[in-house]
Amino acid sequence: MLLEPGTTCWRRDPSGRAALLIDMADYFDAAMTAMSRAKRTIHLLNWAFEPETLFHPKDGCTGPDGDRIANFLKCLAKDKPKLDVRILCWNSALPVAATQHWFTLADRKVFAGSEVKFVLDGRLPMGASHHQKMIIVDDAIGFCGGGDIGPDRWDTALHLDDDPRRQRSQRKSDTKDYDSRHEVMGVVEGAPARALGALFRDRWTRATGEVLPEPRSAKPVWPACVVAQFEGVEVGLSRTVGAWRDYAEVREVEALHLESIRAAKRCIYMENQYFTSPLIASALARRLAEPDGPEVVLIGAERSPSYFDQMTMDATRVKFIQRLKRADKHGRFQAYSPVTTLGRIIIVHAKLTIIDDRLLRIGSANLNNRSMGFDTECDMSFEASGRAGTGNRREIQRLRTRLLAHWLGCDDARVDGAIAKAGGVGKGLEALRNAGYARLRPIGLPPLNPLAEFVADYHLGDPWSPTDSWRPWKRRALAHNVSRQAAG
């Protein structure tokens, strides 16, 4: 088993039903359905929470007030006096809040005097963030992944150009749309949902000092709009917690990444917002150097949407990919950025890894330093057993095909056929691209100017842990040590 409590995960429990939700339109629909049927508790953990977010936006991001998440939750809490509705959100720095419509100020105002209990959580190392994203209903249904609550998060799996539902406003002077965006979320029932509930209560106590009782057990009410892709699957929860005061460091996210990369036999498929961690780069490079190692396929945005990330994470990603290209002596590495039909950028915000047909991992953790030991993260993994091509193993492989087909804009059968004919995922993707399915493009590696070289060398903005958060020279030494050990 890759999921080992105490090392690669915190908890491992079976779930009667589980599913992967591709992009936020499906997630918002499923979450609204599940919360509508809540009897005891609705608990949300988020990096950002914008109260005006619509579950089902219309043209110009319009919709009825009851479809806006803050109003929806307030109405639920008012109409069901026994329902406990709580939101715990990162108390972000003002420059970050400014990029998300000042949500920290808006949330306080919109929930003041309501039955919804809203708390901003700033109890963590200086410079770190609470990055977990989840919704837990009655400790019976749990959602976990990379999707925050915001109007700029909403998109469908079609990633349509000029979708009026992504228009920023109805003002004629504001004709811009939110960029297409790719997110994934996992949904589970039963014991893994109870574990997510326990994680929420632990965070709530840490933030407020209030100890919440565990809700009475409830029968899971699976959202009717969600097709359960997995049955009886093992679900693991892996965390990152930066050391802070009496709270010990937790690096389960990192441990599972390293162990699953070591265990991969045929293909490592990763979608992520950032690829900067030298530890992960070293682990992937070692596998690429092996004559019979696995393929490595990475999917990331052409560029980050914010100037700060372009200066920090994008520059460091160049070094990450260059290292894998140097290690790729056997032609098993591909790194792509997706675009829409008209060639416009798709922001890849998902944090997803698929190892062969064995492990499907969805979470909040990026493949950067801070997600491994500085920020607060939670990843949820589905691990399959049994014979290849059967049951949950078949479903993991099918979902990888579905993701690739949605990137390329073709049907699943064409992707499966190309991979089988070419004898590998990367070669199959190249064959499809050469046949005209060109919505996946090789990630560009622009030359780095001296400032970008400095940023990448010192991993500015990307601490390993609280011990180097304000000591970038220590971070540089750590990265160089990892590289030397890998080379040796």
Of the candidates 255, 190, 180, 94, the one whose C-alpha atom is nearest the C-alpha of residue 409 is: 180
How many degrees, rounded to 5, is the angle at CA 444 between CA 438 and CA 450?
A: 170
Q: Which amino acid is at 131?
A: H
For residue 356, pLDDT beyond 60: yes
The dihedral region occupied by 29, where left means phi > 0, alpha psi between -120 and 50, and beta the remainder, is alpha
- The CATH number assigned to the domain with range 15-231 reads 3.30.870.10
**Tokens 């980050």 — which residue?**
304
What is the pLDDT at residue 176?
79
**Tokens 């180097």 — which residue?**
468
What is the pLDDT at residue 170?
55
Q: What is the pTM of this model?
A: 0.96
**Section 341-367 average pLDDT:** 97
Q: What are the two backbone dihedrals, phi and then psi, of residue 12, each rounded to the nearest 5 degrees?
A: -135, 120
pLDDT bracket for residue 63 (50, 70, 90): confident
**Section 457-486 average pLDDT:** 85
Structural domain spans, the chain: 15-231, 245-487
pLDDT bracket for residue 167 (50, 70, 90): confident
27-31, 219-223, 362-366: segment of lowest average pLDDT: 219-223
Q: Pairing mode, if any, of strands 180-182 and 295-299? A: unpaired
Asked if 271 and 18 touch (Cβ cutoff 8 Å), the reply is no
178-232 confidence digits (pLDDT tens)? 999 999 999 999 999 999 999 999 999 999 999 999 998 889 999 999 999 999 9
Q: What are the two backbone dihedrals, phi and then psi, of residue 229, each rounded to the nearest 5 degrees?
A: -85, -25
What average pLDDT is seen over the chain? Answer: 94
Domains 15-231 and 245-487 equal at CATH topology level: yes
CATH topology for the 245-487 domain: Endonuclease; Chain A (3.30.870)
**Section 81-96 average pLDDT:** 91
